[in-house]
Amino acid sequence: QQQVKQSPQSLIVQKGGIPIINCAYENTAFDYFPWYQQFPGKGPALLIAIRPDVSEKKEGRFTISFNKSAKQFSLHIMDSQPGDSATYFCAASRGGTASKLTFGTGTRLQVTL
Task: List contacts with other proteins (CB under 8 A).
Answer: 31-32, 34, 36, 41-46, 49, 51, 89, 91, 93, 95-106
Neighbouring CB atoms inside 10 A of 105's CB total 14
CB of 99 to other proteins, least distance (A): 6
Dihedral, CA atoms, 108, 52, 99, 74, nearest 10 degrees?
A: 0
Q: Which is nearer to other proteins, 18 or 45 (CB)?
A: 45
Q: Which is nearer to other proteins, 17 or 49 (CB)?
A: 49
Q: Which is nearer to other proteins, 16 or 95 (CB)?
A: 95
SS3 71: coil
